[in-house]
Amino acid sequence: MKPRSLGFWLVNGTTLWFLFNSCPAVAQIVPDATLPVNSSVRQQENISVIEGGTTAGSNLFHSFQEFSVPTSGTAFFNNAQNIQNILTRVTGGSISNIDGILRANGTANLFLLNPNGIIFGPNARLDIGGSFVGSTANSINFADGFQFSAANPQSTPLLTINVPIGLQFGQNPGRIEVQGTGYDLSAQLRSPIIRGNSITGLQVQPGKTLALVGGDIDLEGGTLTAEQGRIELGSIGNQAQVSLNSIPEGFALDYQGVQFFRDIRLSQQASADASGGGAIQVQGNNVRLTDGSIILIQNQGEQRGGQISVNAAQSLEASGPNPVAGFYGGLEGQTIGVGSSADIVVSTQQLVVRNGAAILTRSFSPGRAGNVTVNASDSIQVIGFSPIAPALSSVITAVGYHSGDGGDLTVSTKWLTIFNGGSVSTPSFGTGQGGDVTVNATEFIEISGVSRVGIPSSISTVNLGTGNSGKTTINTSRLVLQNGAIVSAASFASGRAGSVIVNARESIEVNGTMPESPTTPTYIGASAPELSESIQEIFRVPQVPTSSSGDVTINTGKLSVTEGARVQVSNVGVGDGGALRVNARSIFLDNQGGITAATASGESGNIELQVSDLLLLRRNSQISATAFSNGSGGNININTPLLVTVPRENSDISANSVSARGGNVIINSSGIFGTQFRNRNTLESDITATGASSELSGNVQINTPDIDPSSGLVELPVNIVDPTQLIAQGCPANRGNSFTITGRGGLPLLPSDALRSDQTATINWVTRERRENEEDKGTRGRRDTERVNVFASPRPNISASSLVEATGWVINKSGEVWLTASASTATSTTPQSSLSTPESCPPSETVGSD
pLDDT in tens, 721-750: 565 555 555 555 555 555 555 555 555 555
Q: Residue 102 to residues 37, 46, 98, 244: CA-CA distances in angstroms? A: 22, 12, 8, 22
Share of the chain above pLDDT 90, in %: 63
Q: What pLDDT score was predicted for residue 113?
A: 98
**Phi and psi at residue 780, to the nearest 5°:** -60, -50
Q: What pLDDT score was predicted for residue 11?
A: 41
Q: In what order do the strands lie in the sheet with 74-77?
A: 39-44, 47-52, 74-77, 101-104, 125-127
DSSP 751: T
Q: Residue 844 to residues 733, 735, 847, 848: CA-CA distances in angstroms? A: 9, 8, 10, 13
Q: Are 97 and 121 in contact (CB under 8 A)?
A: yes
Q: What pLDDT score was predicted for residue 402?
A: 84
Q: What pLDDT score was predicted for residue 112?
A: 99
Q: What pLDDT score was predicted for residue 333?
A: 97
pLDDT(835) > 90? no
Tens-place pLDDT, residues 392-433: 899 999 999 888 899 999 999 999 999 999 999 999 888 888
Residue 337 to residue 437: CA distance in whole angstroms: 24
Question: Which of these ranges, 260-264, 595-599, 686-690, 843-847, has the smallest mean pLDDT?
Answer: 843-847
Q: Where are the domains of the chain?
A: 727-745+803-850
Q: What pLDDT score was predicted for residue 776?
A: 52
Q: What pLDDT score was predicted for residue 720?
A: 56
- Higher-confidence residue of 100 and 301: namely 100
Measured over the CA atoms of residue 751, residue 756, residue 761 and residue 766, the dihedral's sign is negative
Question: Which of these ranges, 131-145, 233-247, 492-506, has the smallest mean pLDDT?
Answer: 492-506
- Higher-confidence residue of 657 and 709: namely 657
Residue 585 to residue 575: CA distance in whole angstroms: 32
* Threshold 0.85, pTM exceeds: no
Q: What is the average pLDDT across 680-709?
A: 88
Side-chain-facing half-sphere of 710: CA atoms under 13 Å: 2
Residue 368: count other Cβ atoms within 10 Å of its Cβ.
26
pLDDT band, very low/low/confident/very high, at 600 (cuts 50, 70, 90): confident
Q: Where are the beta strands (DSSP E) in 535-684?
A: 552-562, 566-571, 580-590, 594-599, 607-618, 622-627, 636-644, 652-654, 664-673, 676-677
Tens-place pLDDT, residues 500-515: 999 999 999 999 999 9
Question: Residue 758: helix, strand or coil by DSSP?
Answer: helix
* Residues in contact with 719: Cβ distance below 8 Å, sequence separation at least 6, in sequence order: none
Tens-place pLDDT, residues 751-778: 444 444 444 444 455 555 555 555 555 4
Q: Which of 178-187, 706-715, 829-838 is most confident?
A: 178-187
Tell me the sheet residues that pair with 675.
Answer: none
Q: What is the average pLDDT across 557-581?
A: 91
Q: Residue 452 to residues 320, 329, 393, 418, 547: CA-CA distances in angstroms? A: 15, 19, 9, 15, 28
Question: Which of these ranges, 294-303, 738-747, 832-841, has the smallest mean pLDDT?
Answer: 832-841
